[in-house]
Amino acid sequence: MSTTEQPSVPTNSGPDFNPGPDFKDIPAFEVDPGLQRHLADARVNVELDTGDMIINLGPQHPATHGTLRLVVRLDGERVIAADPVIGYMHRGYEKLTEFRTYPQVTTLINRIDWLSSFANEVPFVHAAEQLMEIEAPPRAQYIRTALTELSRIATFLLFLGEMGLQVGALTPAFYGFRDREHVLNLIESATGGRFHPNFNRIGGLKDDLPWGWIAETRNVMKIVLDACDVFEDLVLGNEIFQARTRSVGIIPGELGASYGVSGSNLRASGVDWDLRRDGAPYLAYPELDFEVFTHPDGDSFARYWVRLQETRESARMVLQLLDKMPAGPIMAKVARIIKVPAGEAWVETENPLGQMGYYVVSKGGTGPFRVKIRSASFSNVSILPWMLRGVYVPDVVTILASLYFILGDIDR
C-alpha cells in the first residue's frame, strides 16, 4: 500500500521557530491588577453559559400532589417558563357518568377531589334534586352541611402540616396527619366510609347519625381548634417559613379571578368571595353565622394564613350545626327507581379547594345524558405558567404546595 507524505505544519515553538525581526519590538500587554478579578469572573461566566436548561418536576414528585409533570425552563436557578402537563391519570369521569344511573354517579365523583370526597357529592345530588323538584328534609341538610365542613377541616389539616414539610419541617406533617385522623373517624362512623363515603342520596342521606356522634364531634372540634393554635405558633411564627413564603408566588386579585382561581387561593389575594355566603343558597349555610377571611398580600404565606383561619371557622360552624340540629326524617319520598325529568341544571358549591360546579343535562332517563364538571384545581393550576415565571427553583415547590391542588380534581 502506498502512502502519501504529509506536509509539515509550522509551529510557534521549537528551535526552528523564527518570530521575525519585528516581534521583539512589540510591547507586552499589561493588565491593570484591579481588573484581573473581574476578567476572571467574566471568563467563568462564559465557560458556564450553556444556554437554557430544561428540567422535569414530576410526574412522580412529592410536591406535585399526584401525577403532574411540570416542564421548567431555567436560566441558572431562575425559571424562564413553566408548563404544567396533565392527563397522566386518564380519569374520564365526565364521560363515565353517561353510563351510570344517578345513584351510581356518586361513586365516581367521590374520587375527583379524593381528600374531600363527601363535598364532591353534594352539588351533583343537589342538581338532580332540582330537576326532580324535591328537597331533602332539614335534618338531612344539616347533616350534609356538617359532613361537608368536616371534609374541609380534614383537607385543610393535611395542608397545614404538609406545607411545613415543603420548607423542610417534618414535625408539622406528623401533627397534621395525627389531628386529621380524629376528623376521619367522625366521617367514618357516620357514613361507613373513611375515604369515599358515598353517603348522599337523591332526596336525603343513606342513614341517620349514630348514637354518641354529636358528643364526640364536640370533643374533636376542641382538638381541631387547639391544633390550629399549634400550627400558628409552629409554622406561621417560624422565621424560616416566613422567609420562604412571604412575597413568593404573589397572585394579584383581578388576575387570579381572570384565570378562574377560586376558593382560599383567591381570598388570599384580597377577593372577598365565598359561595357559601355569596352564591345561590344551598344546604344550611344561610342559617349559620360565619366569617369569610381574606388577606391582602396574595403570596404563599397569605394562602397558608387564610386556610388556617378557615379551619378554625369551619370548626365553629360545625358546633353551630350541632346546636341547631333539627329532629325528623333524613329522606324525602323518592321513587325506588329514580328517573330525572328532562331538563338542565347548574349547581356550584364552595368546596374545600374552591368553586366546584356540575352542569347536568337530563333527557328523562335513569342516568344523565351529559355532565360537565367544573373542578377547582383545574382552574387553580391554570395560573402556574404566569406565577412561576421569574422565580427560583426552590420557590417552585412552595408555590405548588400553597396552591394546594389535587390531581384527581384536574384530570378529566
> If the chain, 412 residues long, is cut into consecutive pieces of 10 residues, what is the mean pLDDT of each piece?
46 48 49 54 52 80 74 91 86 90 92 90 96 96 97 96 90 95 96 91 95 97 97 94 94 95 96 96 96 96 97 98 96 93 96 96 95 93 93 92 89 76
In whole angstroms, how far apart are CA 153 and each of 68, 109, 310, 367? 25, 19, 8, 32
SS3 36: helix
Contact 140, 326 (CB under 8 A): no
Assess if residue 272 is contained within a domain.
yes
User: Which three cell numbers, joined as nine digits, stand for 344?
Assistant: 338542565
Contact 179, 157 (CB under 8 A): yes
Contacts of 356 (CB under 8 A, 6+ apart): 113, 119, 120, 123, 348, 349, 373, 374, 375, 376
Assess if residue 180 is contained within a domain.
yes
What is the spatial distance between Cα 195 and Cα 184, in angstroms, rounded to a whole number? 8
**Domain containing residue 399:** 60-409
Residues linked to residue 53 through DSSP beta bridges, in sequence order? 74
Assess if residue 24 is contained within a domain.
no
User: Which three cell numbers, joined as nine digits, stand for 191?
Assistant: 357514613
In whole angstroms, how far apart are CA 250 and each of 14, 45, 160, 162? 65, 31, 19, 20
Number of structural domains found in the chain:
1
Burial of 74 (0-12, 13-18, 19+ CB in 10 A): middle
Q: To 10 degrees, what angle do helices 171-191 and 213-231 make? A: 160
Q: What is the DSSP letter of 148?
A: H
Residue with cell 422535569: 56
Assess if residue 26 is contained within a domain.
no
User: Which three cell numbers, joined as nine digits, stand for 108?
Assistant: 365516581
Assess if residue 37 is contained within a domain.
no
Chain centroid to Cα 341, Å, comes to 35
Neighbours of 306 (CB within 10 A): 22
The single-letter code of the amino acid at 348 is E
Q: What is the DSSP letter of 269?
A: T
What is the spatial distance between Cα 359 and Cα 408, in angstroms, rounded to a whole number? 19
Angle among Cα 361, 362, 364 to the nearest 5 degrees reads 170
Assess if residue 356 is contained within a domain.
yes
In terms of DSSP bridges, do strands 200-201 and 66-67 run parallel, antiparallel, or are they unpaired? unpaired
What is the spatial distance between Cα 76 and Cα 61, in angstroms, rounded to a whole number? 21
pLDDT of residue 29: 46
Assess if residue 134 is contained within a domain.
yes
Measured in residues, the chain has a length of 412
Across the beta sheet with 354-362, what order do the strands follow? 343-351, 354-362, 370-374
Q: What is the pLDDT of residues 159-200, one digit of tens each?
A: 999 999 888 889 999 999 999 999 999 999 999 988 899 999
Q: What is the pLDDT of residues 57-108, one digit of tens each?
A: 878 766 666 788 889 999 888 999 999 988 887 778 899 999 999 999 999 9
pLDDT of residue 33: 58
CATH number at residue 396: 1.10.645.10
What is the spatial distance between Cα 299 and Cα 282, in angstroms, rounded to a whole number? 31
Contact 256, 271 (CB under 8 A): yes
Contact 98, 369 (CB under 8 A): yes
Assess if residue 245 is contained within a domain.
yes
Q: What is the DSSP letter of 232?
A: I
User: Which three cell numbers, joined as nine digits, stand for 277?
Assistant: 355566603
